[in-house]
Amino acid sequence: MKVTIEIDCSPEEARQFLGLPDVSKANQFYVEAIAKGMKGAANIDQLQDFAKGLAPMGQLGMKLFQQVMESGSAFAQGAAKKKREDD
């Protein structure tokens, strides 16, 4: 048996329902800081140095984030393949 539930709500409503904190002000501050920093970059090397400084734990944090994203992508592709095989 397969049951599908579709919920139509905004991201804000979903956060409230799940009890997650409102981080919109922190997000706005972070985006503005990144935009200001990127405006001062004259070339690609400066932009890369700026990005490394933003990442938690520097280069190690970037590698960890990349591994998480690649793992999630591989999982999603595997799940989609399994779903096609089940259909």
* 40 & 50 share domain: yes
What is the pLDDT, as a whole number, of residue 3?
Answer: 93
* 49 & 63 share domain: no
Residue that is written with structure tokens 């329902």 in the block:
17
Write the CB contacts of 27 (distance below 8 Å, at least 6 apart in sequence): none
User: Containing domain of residue 63, as a range?
Assistant: 56-87
* 11 & 24 share domain: yes
Q: What is the pLDDT of residues 3-18, one digit of tens each?
A: 998 989 998 888 888 8
* 44 & 60 share domain: no
Number of structural domains (the chain) is 2
Mean pLDDT across the chain: 76
Cβ neighbour number for residue 37 with a 10 Å cutoff: 15
